[in-house]
Each structure stands twice: as C-alpha cells, then as structure tokens.
Amino acid sequence: MPREKHVFLSAEWRDLVMLNYEVDGKLLSKYIPPGILLDFYEGRTYVSLVGFRFLQTKLLGSLPIPFHSDFDEVNLRFYVRRKHGNEERRGVVFISEIVPKWAVAKLARLTYGENYVRLPMNHRIDASGTGRAVEYEWRLDGACCKLYAHALLPPAPAEEGSLEQFITEHYWGYSKQKRGDSLEYQVSHVPWNVWKPATAGFEGDSSNIYGRELGAILERRPDSAFIADGSPVKVFAGERIK
C-alpha cells in the first residue's frame, strides 16, 4: 500500500496576483532540480511573479504558529513536470520567495530547501463591488518593489485549457537539495476563480534578488496577468526523489 502522506502545513492562500512572463527555457536550466523537466503551455515557457496572503497558518494541520499565522508572500516561480508511474505530476519550482517573518523563512529553508528571504512587506486590497484591486510591496536597501493588478469585472472559473488554468493547477512543488537530489511535495487546493485585470504590472528593480536577466524580464509588461481568489490549502510533507 502507498505510504500515507502527512500534512506539514495548512493555511489559506488569498488574493493572489499572478504576473506571467514568457521566457527562454535555457534561462531556467540552472534552477531545475534533478529528475525534473520543464512544463510548457502551447510550447511556451513561463515564469510567474506571485503575491498573496498566507492566513490562518498551522503546522501539522492543527498547530497555530504564534505571531506567524497571517503574513504576505511574493515568489518567483516556473512550471515543471515529472513522470511517476502512469501519472504526470505537474508542479512548480521557486526561484526565490520573500516573506516578512524571519521564522517562516528559516523553517522553509530547513524543511524544504527553498530559497526564502525575509524583507519588510505590506499589501493593499480594495474588494469593493465585483472587481478587485490588489498590491504587494517589499523593501530592500531602502528601495521599494511592487506588483499590482486592478480588475473591474467579477471573477469566474478559469476556462478549460486556458493559460490561467495552466498557471493555477500545478499541484506539486520541487526543490533542489544540497546532496544533489530533489525534494517533491504535494499541495492540495480546489480550483480557483480568477479576475482578468484592466491593469497589472511590476514596479521597481528586482535584480538584487532575482539577478540581472530575470530582473529585466520583470520590467517588461506581463504577457498575461490575473487575480485569483484563493482557498484553503494543504502542503504535505516532502519526499526525496532521484
């Protein structure tokens, strides 16, 4: 019988701003964990800059984390896949993740080997009417970076076969480990509704976190952007793979 997976963390992910950029897959080669392949949408490779709120965070599914249950996160990620028997597991690799809580960053680095950094952050959300306006900011060395999306129309389920569905429905995470292997972990949540924004983008210089080439990509207009409503999520304990 397959080994039962244990919930490492449960939370709600809410008000996700997702800015998506087409890139040359060669730019991502150094970040791909062993045994993992790039995933493509209609032959194109994408990275996404994602800002969202972590709410009601609990370890092992039930243990609240004092003073660390609610916080913001911004991450830069791309999309991958792995064959497991007859199953095609579609997931994400995080290039870097920003949170305002030192303990969260430390725990994620130790548990999953993820590249977390702690920086001052804040957010602004306007949920009046059927639209949505969401912004996330962080500061480094006195400079501010911001991603934002402003939508006027009400949300709807992601269309079947759309880029929005591709971006939001990758349910595995992969990270490169120091010993040369990879860690695989499952993330469980229901499909999300999305707002298609009238305006969206990124402001600032992020090269000090993501490097010159990726920083320059984020300064372009996104190839697509949307806001996702989010949902409760479960992040399961990871397993090493070769």
Question: What is the Cα–Cα distance from 115 to 43, expressed in whole angstroms?
Answer: 28
| Other CB atoms within 10 Å distance of the CB of residue 92 | 20
Residue pair 13/227 in contact (Cβ under 8 Å)? The answer is no
Q: Where are the domains positioned within the chain?
A: 7-241
For residues 1 and 142, the model is more confident at: 142
Q: How confident is the model at residue 2 (pLDDT cuts 50, 70, 90)?
A: very low
- Report pLDDT for 61: 60
- Report pLDDT for 108: 65
Alpha-carbon 154 to chain mean position: 23
Residue range 7-241 forms a domain whose CATH class is: mainly beta
Question: What is the Cα–Cα distance from 91 to 74, expressed in whole angstroms?
Answer: 18
Residue pair 216/210 in contact (Cβ under 8 Å)? The answer is no
pLDDT tens for 40-83 read: 999 999 999 999 999 988 876 665 665 567 899 999 999 999 99
Report the predicted TM-score, pTM, of the whole model to 2 decimal places.
0.92
Alpha-carbon torsion, ordered 97, 110, 213, 207, to 10 deg: 60
Residue 3: pLDDT over 60 = no
Residue 131: pLDDT over 50 = yes
pLDDT tens for 90-121 read: 999 999 999 997 766 677 667 666 778 899 99
Residue 208: pLDDT over 80 = yes
Token match 């990871």: residue?
238
- Report pLDDT for 63: 59
Question: Which DSSP letter does residue 155 get?
Answer: P
pLDDT tens for 183-206 read: 899 999 999 999 999 999 999 999
For residues 124 and 117, the model is more confident at: 124
By DSSP bridging, strand 116-118 and strand 87-99 are: parallel
Beta-carbon-side half-sphere exposure of residue 61 (alpha carbons within 13 Å): 9
- Report pLDDT for 66: 56
pLDDT tens for 133-175 read: 999 999 998 889 999 999 998 999 999 999 999 999 999 999 9
- Report pLDDT for 179: 80
